[in-house]
Amino acid sequence: MTATAPPTRTEPDLSFLLNRTGHVLQTRMAAALAEVGLTARMHCVLVHALEEERTQIQLAEIGDMDKTTMVVTVDALEEAGLAERRPSSRDRRARIIAVTEEGAEVARRSQQIADRVHEEVLEALPEEEREVFVRAMTRLAEGHLSAPVEGPAPVRRTRRRRQ
């Protein structure tokens, strides 16, 4: 059997670079948020629920969570006394996620932690590259890579191992 040469790459492997760095950032964030007993999803829900009155569906959309994951996340927040489901002041048929006083304090601390993790990542780059990097990533996230493309089979996201 003859060995064949691999295809010649003409562009950097962005899939690998984005997946790898995204995964490592998620693990760093998860470890850091554990300091205050939160997951990244719990942090996301608390912070965005504090911004304005939002339903569970709206928060799930912001956090890119499916319905089941969102229910489990809000259940955990309620059990910890950090949030509660309440009727909306705008539409009594709708239920919102309201953050408790304790939840607001935890959200402030968790945001400081998230900011610290992001700052540490950016500090790995030379100062003159940081703003350019963030601007380029923002442009991709808000533009060309803002929405998934429908394909013949859904792309599965990587599952994190429970620890």
- Could you tell me if residue 42 is inside a domain? yes
The percent of the chain in helix, strand and coil, each rounded to the nearest 5, is 60, 5, 35
- pTM for the whole structure: 0.84
The answer to whether residue 97 is domain-embedded is yes
The pLDDT value recorded for residue 158 is 58
Q: For residue 163, what pLDDT is reported? A: 46
- CB neighbour list of residue 63: distance below 8 Å, 6 or more residues apart: 41, 44, 45, 48, 70, 73
44 φ, ψ (degrees, to nearest 5): -60, -45
Does residue 44 sit within a domain? yes
pLDDT per residue rounded down to tens, the chain (163 residues):
678 998 999 999 999 999 999 999 999 999 999 999 999 999 999 999 999 999 999 999 999 999 999 999 999 999 999 999 999 888 888 889 999 999 999 999 999 999 999 999 999 999 999 999 999 999 999 999 998 888 887 666 655 554 4
Residue 151 lies in a domain: no
Within a domain: residue 14?
Answer: no
33 found inside a domain: yes
How far is Cα 107 from Cα 36, in angstroms, rounded to an integer?
9
Q: Which domain holds residue 33?
A: 27-113
Report CA-CA distances (Å) from 51 to 54, 99, 107: 8, 10, 11
CATH number, domain with residue 89 = 1.10.10.10
Distance of CA 56 to the CA centre of its chain: 16
Q: Is residue 139 part of a domain?
A: no
The per-residue pLDDT for 161 is: 52
Query: 39 lies in a domain?
Result: yes
Q: State the total domains in the chain.
A: 1
